Amino acid sequence: MKNTPFNKLTYTVVDTETTGYSPKYAKMVEIAAVKIYPDYNIDYENTFSELINPEIEIPYNAYKIHKISNEMVQDKPLIHEVLPSFLSFATNTVIVGHNVNFDMRFIEHEASCCSLPLQFPYSIDTVKLAKKAVPGLPAYKLDNLIEYFNINLNIPESDRHRALFDAVNTAIVLTECFKLLEKQGIYDISHL
């Protein structure tokens, strides 16, 4: 898989929204993902998106970022009900995320708590990928890359920083970075 060209692999681009920064103390309140099939075909129709009841209060600082309130999640499924479906959706694909280690720490922690196996051969961080594809930008936050690549999705402003919005935009950033890297002679994961 490491030597397979970028455009021949299937990717699952994931984003999570949480109550904090450490999976030891914080919980997921939303998980979303979008798939990219060979030839960079982003599947906008068959996405994964679930709000999750974290069983703890959502701190105001977290709410300010993702706008997910306690009321929005109070009747939603618990993580052990959501995670198996997500893992089924994403299994045996390359996992991608913007600062993917953050998302994967939460997913791995919850999978371990639920005794669920993870089957992700590789993961790609679009922050690191963008630094290689577009060196010299002043910042590599997702909003900066959305602006740099002139991504303009027809998604309500209220959905900014929600998991599906971020996953879809990250998917587009990924494909744009791959195209730039291909022009530089980099065609597969082994050269990242």
Q: What is the pLDDT of residues 133-151, one digit of tens each?
A: 999 999 999 999 999 999 9
Q: Which SS3 state, helix, strand or coil, does residue 46 take?
A: strand
161 is catalytic: yes
Beta strands in the chain (DSSP E): 11-18, 28-37, 41-51, 94-97, 123-125
**Among 66, 80, 161, 191, which one carries the catalytic annotation?**
161
Spatial separation of the C-alpha atoms in residues 141 and 179, rounded to whole Å = 19
* Model pTM score: 0.95
Structure tokens that stand for 83 in this block: 């995670």
Q: What number of other Cβ atoms are within 10 A of residue 149's Cβ?
A: 17
Superfamily of domain 6-191: Ribonuclease H-like superfamily/Ribonuclease H (3.30.420.10)
Q: What is the dihedral of CA 64, 70, 76, 77, to 10 degrees?
A: 90
Tokens of 29: 């309140």
Kindly report, residue by residue over 73-125, the tens digit of the pLDDT.
Answer: 999 999 999 999 999 999 999 999 999 999 999 999 999 999 999 988 899 99
